[in-house]
């Protein structure tokens, strides 16, 4: 079974700043991690490989430093890693991201399953998985908290408002997973060192993929960020109810009575 895992490097904190000029992330000084759900996707891929045999390829579009995330993935157990890295890819929205990822996956050729996270910590749109499925003309199951494969048949439990639904499709397919699906393994120091010594991260650019610059990155994007700002919430007019514990309890109920809430 050939499995492709899409993996994004994201800032490990929400305390990030954006460049107001370009709308792009200021990455300097912000620690990076593998998007948590993508680790779950990788873990699932490795478990499926243990069960069915095959090959796990991790693929990421990002700046040169995203190689670190791919090295981690190799250390954890991925067989191959591909970094889609090119100045022309910068500033991509989900349309351009899915296009670039999809083009690379087509180039890889045969596969049975594409696994993604449901959402990233940074862009947080949850759009790349379905868009990639559309581009590759694959059936998709999103928000999967459980995935099983028997022969050609994939079954997954999908989260929805009222509970969970059991979905079934035929391979090849694309599935986006939630953090519930498993507990990702952590690489040992040895494995990390080995991933640098013995394994290779391939880097593919726009030219290698045969992509025009206007169809990728900022130019290939349909959305533009027009404004970024700090939200203002403060009502700033809190009235404290004070006194003894009894005073406070009764004071609170009095306010509710005033407004006909009890």
Partner 1 sequence: MSLNEYRGVWVFAEQNDGRLRRVSLELLGKGRELADRLRVDLVAILLGEDAGKLCTELIDYGADKVLWADDPELRCYRTDTYTKIIASQIMEHKPEILLVGATYVGRDLAPRIARRLGTGLSADCTSLDIDEETRLLQQTCPAFGGNLMVTILTPKERPQMATVQPGVMQPLQKSTRKGEIISIPADIEHKDMRVSRLRVIEETRRGIGLEQAERIVSGGMGIGSVENFKMLGKLAELLGAEVGATRNAVEAGWASSDRMIGQTGKTVRPTLYIACGISGAIQHIVGMKDSELTIAISKDPKAPIFQIADYGIVADLHQLIPLLIQELLRYKGAR
- Interacting residues with partner 1 between 93 and 122 (CB under 8 A): 93-95, 98, 122
> How big is the CA angle at 187 (ends 184 and 189), to the nearest 5 degrees?
160
The continuous run of DSSP H or E covering 158 comes out as strand 153-160
At closest approach, how far in Å is the CB of 190 from ligand FAD?
Answer: 27
Residue 254 token pair: 């009095």
Least distance (Å) from partner 1 to the CB of residue 75?
A: 28
For partner 1, the binding residues in 114-173 under the rule CB under 8 A are 122, 124-131, 133-135, 139-143, 155, 157-170
Residue 213 engages partner 1 in binding (rule: CB under 8 A)? no
What, of ligand FAD, partner 1, none, does residue 92 touch, CB below 5 to 8 Å by kind?
ligand FAD
Q: Using CB distances below 5 to 8 A depending on partner kind, what does residue 103 bind out of ligand FAD, partner 1, none? A: none
Q: Which does 61 bind (CB under 5 to 8 A by kind): ligand FAD, partner 1, none?
A: ligand FAD
Q: Which does 143 bind (CB under 5 to 8 A by kind): ligand FAD, partner 1, none?
A: partner 1
Q: Do 215 and 100 touch, CB atoms closer than 8 A?
A: no
Q: Residue 144 CB: number of other CB atoms within 10 A?
A: 26
What does each C-alpha distance from 241 to 233, 234, 249, 251 come to in angstroms?
Answer: 22, 19, 9, 6
Mutual orientation of helices 67-76 and 189-198 as an angle, nearest 10°? Answer: 120
Name the binder of 169 from partner 1, ligand FAD, none, CB < 5-8 A by kind.
partner 1
* Cross-strand partners of 250: none
Residues making contact with ligand FAD (CB under 6 A): 6-8, 14, 25, 35, 37-38, 41, 60-62, 92-95, 97, 101, 116-117, 119-129, 223
The string over 237-259, giving b where at least 16 C-beta atoms fall within 10 Å of a residue's C-beta and e elsewhere, is eeeeeeeeeeeeeeeeeeeeeee
Per CB under 8 A, contacts with partner 1 among 14-53 are: 14-16, 18
């Amino acid at each position: 079974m050939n499995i492709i895992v899409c993996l994004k490097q994201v800032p490990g904190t929400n305390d990030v700043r954006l460049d107001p000029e370009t709308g792009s992330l200021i990455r300097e000084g912000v620690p990076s991690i593998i998007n948590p759900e993508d680790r779950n996707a990788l873990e699932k891929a490795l478990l499926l490989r243990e069960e069915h045999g095959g090959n796990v390829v991790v693929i990421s579009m990002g700046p040169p430093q995203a190689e670190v995330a791919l090295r981690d993935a190799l250390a954890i157990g991925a067989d191959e890693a591909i970094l889609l890295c090119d100045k022309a890819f910068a500033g991509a929205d989900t349309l351009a991201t899915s296009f670039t990822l999809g083009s690379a996956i087509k180039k890889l050729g045969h596969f049975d399953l594409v696994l993604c996270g449901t959402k990233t910590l940074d862009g947080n749109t949850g759009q790349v998985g379905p868009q990639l499925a559309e581009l590759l003309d694959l059936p998709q199951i999103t928000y999967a908290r459980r995935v099983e494969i028997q022969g050609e048949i994939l079954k997954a439990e999908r989260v929805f408002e009222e509970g969970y639904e059991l979905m079934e499709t035929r391979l090849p397919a694309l599935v986006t997973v939630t953090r519930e699906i498993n507990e990702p393994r952590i690489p040992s120091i040895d494995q990390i060192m080995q991933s640098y010594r013995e394994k290779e991260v391939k880097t593919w650019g726009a030219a290698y993929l045969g992509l025009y610059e206007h169809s990728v990155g900022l130019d290939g994007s349909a959305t533009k960020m027009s404004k970024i700002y700090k939200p203002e919430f403060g009502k700033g007019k809190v009235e404290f109810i004070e006194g003894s514990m009894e005073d406070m309890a009764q004071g609170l109920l009095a306010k509710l009575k005033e407004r006909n809430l009890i």
